[in-house]
């Protein structure tokens, strides 16, 4: 097994331990010594890979969900990509909710922003391929819709994840279908 595989395997073990610990106690009460004790490595190994618990938290969000939406960044597939965000949060309920109600909230916010923005910018790039629009305007439109989509996910989380994500997505689609292209056309040079 190569060095990169060992490194990735160790990072995943540390991630699994943090997520397991977050099932039982708040993020603020979890220390590096708890994580390394749970997965059976030493503190030096932890600090070789991560600077602190929040760095590990960031790594988990970056690596676990990004691949899930990689193939859904088109106009025809954005709803499936957006659904995958809901699914990730639901599948990792304790982890995400613990982060949501902790000092680590900005890591969850950053994760939701990055994954949603990249989903939307793929759609916007596709829609605007024949339109003469500056990158700054495309980014602005993606950012506006990103905050709308994140707001819906956060509201869903705050309300106990009771509403069916497919219903939320369909209501949103009904509201915005065609509107992204209409908005982009206002920026044609």
What's the CA dihedral at 124, 128, 134, 140 to 10 degrees? Answer: -30
Fold of 3-50: Arc Repressor Mutant, subunit A (1.10.10)
Would you kindly state where each structural domain of the chain is located, as residue ranges?
Answer: 3-50, 57-185
pLDDT confidence of residue 183: 87
pLDDT at 2: 61
> What's the average pLDDT block by block, 10 residues per block, for the chain (189 residues)?
74 96 95 96 95 95 80 86 93 94 90 93 91 93 95 96 96 90 85
Q: Spell out the residues 6+ positions from residue 144 whose beta carbon is closer than 8 angstroms to its own.
A: 183
Calpha distance 165→152 (Å, rounded): 10
Q: Vertex 61, ends 55 and 65: CA angle to 5°? A: 155
Alpha-carbon span 96 to 124, nearest angstrom: 28
Structure tokens at 54: 């929040």
pTM exceeds 0.85: yes
Q: Does domain 57-185 have CATH number 2.60.120.260?
A: no
């Amino acid at each position: 097994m190569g060095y990169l595989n060992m490194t990735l395997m160790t990072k995943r073990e540390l991630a699994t331990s943090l997520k397991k610990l977050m099932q039982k106690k708040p993020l603020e009460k979890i220390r590096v010594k708890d994580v390394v004790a749970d997965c059976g490595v030493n503190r030096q190994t932890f600090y070789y890979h991560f600077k602190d618990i929040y760095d590990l938290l960031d790594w988990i969000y970056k690596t676990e969900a990004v691949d899930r939406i990689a193939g859904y960044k088109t106009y025809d597939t954005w709803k499936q990509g957006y659904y995958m965000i809901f699914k990730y949060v639901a599948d990792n309920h304790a982890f995400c909710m613990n982060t949501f109600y902790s000092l680590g909230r900005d890591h969850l916010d950053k994760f939701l922003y990055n994954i949603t923005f990249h989903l939307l910018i793929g759609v916007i790039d596709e829609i605007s391929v024949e339109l003469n629009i500056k990158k700054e305007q495309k980014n602005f439109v993606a950012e506006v819709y990103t905050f709308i989509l994140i707001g819906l996910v956060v509201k869903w989380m705050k309300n106990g994840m009771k509403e069916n994500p497919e219903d939320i997505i369909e209501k949103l689609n009904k509201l915005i279908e065609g509107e992204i292209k209409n908005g982009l056309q206002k920026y044609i040079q």
